[in-house]
């Protein structure tokens, strides 16, 4: 079972390594800075911009405008490439490193077979759940992109644009369909890059919940075994244990021998908790920068996307709203799960029958309890604790901003 568990987790990791290399390229090559897919996207956008400024449909050729446009695009894409690699690729690489820790965790001899099986099944279920979630969002984005084509062809109105600035200004059917197609491709590429970063955070949520549930399951079973041992020792001692000192001494020795194995298992559990503690600390250190960017930038943009969908273009505004909404919601869910699981773990540790252990083991337990009381939460210095309460504050702030703008425009 050990080999089967390790093989399944290694296969799970290899799938993500291959997926990451296809998207981002090899980590040790020059593609680390400029992945092939990103270079293709840059080339595509440059060709679209040349087509737009070259005036193929407007019969206006201006070489200076083309040159300025290329320079601006090179500068923007250079900044975008650095930002893209720092956030998305950084998250993906650290996600694979944490998977290496999970594989080491499952290779431990003291790891329970049922716990290992539960961890593997949870990861497999979580993997396909996240994949289905991303596919569903892609379907929504494509529906939002294709719907204007059908409506415009039926109404013979080819002036509708999906993006803020149309790629090709044309009132013909061919020009409009080409415009919508280019906009749809660009929108899907943009959504793919953003959703990939969200996918990594969703896997963090699944792993965190699975590991804590397994740990609580082990701790509860160990406490139940300890109670059973104490009852058996009391039954074996009988009523004469208070009358005969030799019998009392025998009972104490028997109790120490039987509790020794349980106390060793408790020490092993403390080592596993240290692994979980390092895992949470690693996640929080990795997500500190990306979470700050996601919450600070997207909380401003979500109100603007609502205004844009109302006054300019509902399709593009609603698409941007969905992207920003998922970017804000994912880290808030992760922070809530981490805090909730830590509280569950602390409750399970407090309910452990520590009073049935020896004095030496009780000191170890107190150290364990002190470690569990350390707050495990995503806490940013400027924003504060990241959880669903913060999410409601952000959404309420966006609603207040929208209400203020609407009242101002009415006045």
Instruction: Give Cα 353 distance to the centre of its chain.
Output: 36
Q: Residue 396: inside a domain, yes or no?
A: yes
Whole-angstrom CA distances from 100 to 103, 114, 196, 268, 357 are 5, 20, 20, 20, 35
Q: Which residues lie closer than 8 Å to 410 by C-beta, 6 or more apart?
A: none
Task: Examine residue 277 and state whether it is found in any structural domain, yes or no.
Answer: yes
What number is the average pLDDT over the span 237-265? 60
Q: Number of folded domains in the chain?
A: 1
pLDDT digits (tens, 9 = 90+) for 204-250: 666 666 667 777 777 777 777 777 776 666 555 554 444 555 555 65
Q: Lowest mean pLDDT: which of 86-90, 366-370, 372-376? A: 86-90
Average pLDDT over the chain, rounded to an integer: 61
The verdict on residue 207 lying in a domain is: yes
Q: Is residue 91 part of a domain?
A: no
| pLDDT at residue 308 in the model | 73
65 within domain boundaries: no
Residue 118's domain comprises 108-130+191-410
In a domain, 304, yes or no: yes
At residue 251, the pLDDT reads 59
Q: Is residue 21 part of a domain?
A: no
Weakest mean pLDDT among 157-166, 287-296, 338-347: 157-166
Do residues 335 and 348 make contact, with C-beta atoms less than 8 angstroms apart? no
Residue 369: inside a domain, yes or no? Answer: yes
pLDDT of 201 = 65
Q: How confident is the model at residue 163, as a pLDDT?
A: 40
Is the pLDDT reported for residue 360 higher than 70?
yes
């Amino acid at each position: 079972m050990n080999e089967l568990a390790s093989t399944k987790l290694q296969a799970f990791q290899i799938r993500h390594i291959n997926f990451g290399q296809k998207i981002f390229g090899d980590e040790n090559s020059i593609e680390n800075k400029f992945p092939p897919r990103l270079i293709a996207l840059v080339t595509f956008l440059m060709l679209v911009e040349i087509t737009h400024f070259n005036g193929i449909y407007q019969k206006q050729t201006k070489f200076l405008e083309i040159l300025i446009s290329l320079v601006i695009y090179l500068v923007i894409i250079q900044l975008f490439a650095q930002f893209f690699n720092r956030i998305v690729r950084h998250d993906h690489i650290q996600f694979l490193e944490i998977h290496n820790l999970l594989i080491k965790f499952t290779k431990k001899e003291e790891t329970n077979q049922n716990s290992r099986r539960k961890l593997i099944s949870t990861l497999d279920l979580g993997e396909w759940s996240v994949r289905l979630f991303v596919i569903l969002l892609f379907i929504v984005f494509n529906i939002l992109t294709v719907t204007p084509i059908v409506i415009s062809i039926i109404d013979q109105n080819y002036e509708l644009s999906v993006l803020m600035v149309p790629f090709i200004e044309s009132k013909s059917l061919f020009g409009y369909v080409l415009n919508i197609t280019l906009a749809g491709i660009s929108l899907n590429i943009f959504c793919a890059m953003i959703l990939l970063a969200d996918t990594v955070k969703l896997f963090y949520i699944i792993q965190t919940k699975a590991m804590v549930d397994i740990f609580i399951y082990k701790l509860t079973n160990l406490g139940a075994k300890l109670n059973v041992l104490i009852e058996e020792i009391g039954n074996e001692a009988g009523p004469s244990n208070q009358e005969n000192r030799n019998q009392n001494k025998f009972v104490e020795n028997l109790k120490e021998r039987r509790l020794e194995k349980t106390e060793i298992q408790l020490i092993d559990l403390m080592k596993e908790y240290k692994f979980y503690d390092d895992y949470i600390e690693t996640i929080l250190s990795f997500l500190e920068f990306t979470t700050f960017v996601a919450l600070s930038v997207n909380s401003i943009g979500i109100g603007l996307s609502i205004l844009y969908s109302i006054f300019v273009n509902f399709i593009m505004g609603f698409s941007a709203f969905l992207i920003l909404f998922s970017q804000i919601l994912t880290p808030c869910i992760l922070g809530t799960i981490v805090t909730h699981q830590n509280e569950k773990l602390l409750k399970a540790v407090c309910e452990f029958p520590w009073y049935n252990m020896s004095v030496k083991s009780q000191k170890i337990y107190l150290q364990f309890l002190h470690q569990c009381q350390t707050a495990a939460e995503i806490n940013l210095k400027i924003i504060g604790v990241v959880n669903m309460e913060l999410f409601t504050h952000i959404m309420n702030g966006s609603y207040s901003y929208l209400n203020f703008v609407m009242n101002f425009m009415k006045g």
